[in-house]
Amino acid sequence: MSGEEDNIEAAAAAASRRERLRALKAAQDLLNAPDDDHTDVNPNDQQESALSLLIAIRKSYL
């Protein structure tokens, strides 16, 4: 591979890492966010969903 191809590949990998880190931060924020709306949604279901998302993102990052 040429140096230019290496740079393109490295830039794509960095962009992918940044996107995964943003998703991971969003999942963590969702998991840690206080429940401001008092609807009939089960808070345990919301936490479970956020935790599942967080775990899936972390697994994809490994």
The 10 Å CB-count burial string (b at 16+, else e) for 5-39 is eeeeeeeeeeeeeeeeeebbeebeeeeeeeeeeee
Helix (H) or strand (E) holding 51: helix 43-61
The whole domain housing 53 covers 3-61
pLDDT given for residue 10 in this prediction: 92
pLDDT in the model for residue 32: 83
pTM score over 0.75? no
Q: How many domains does the chain have?
A: 1
What per-residue confidence (pLDDT) applies to 4? 86
Q: Which long-range contacts (CB under 8 A, 24 or more apart) does 5-8 make?
A: none
pLDDT string in tens for the chain (62-residue length): 678 888 999 999 999 999 988 988 888 888 888 766 555 566 677 778 878 887 888 777 66
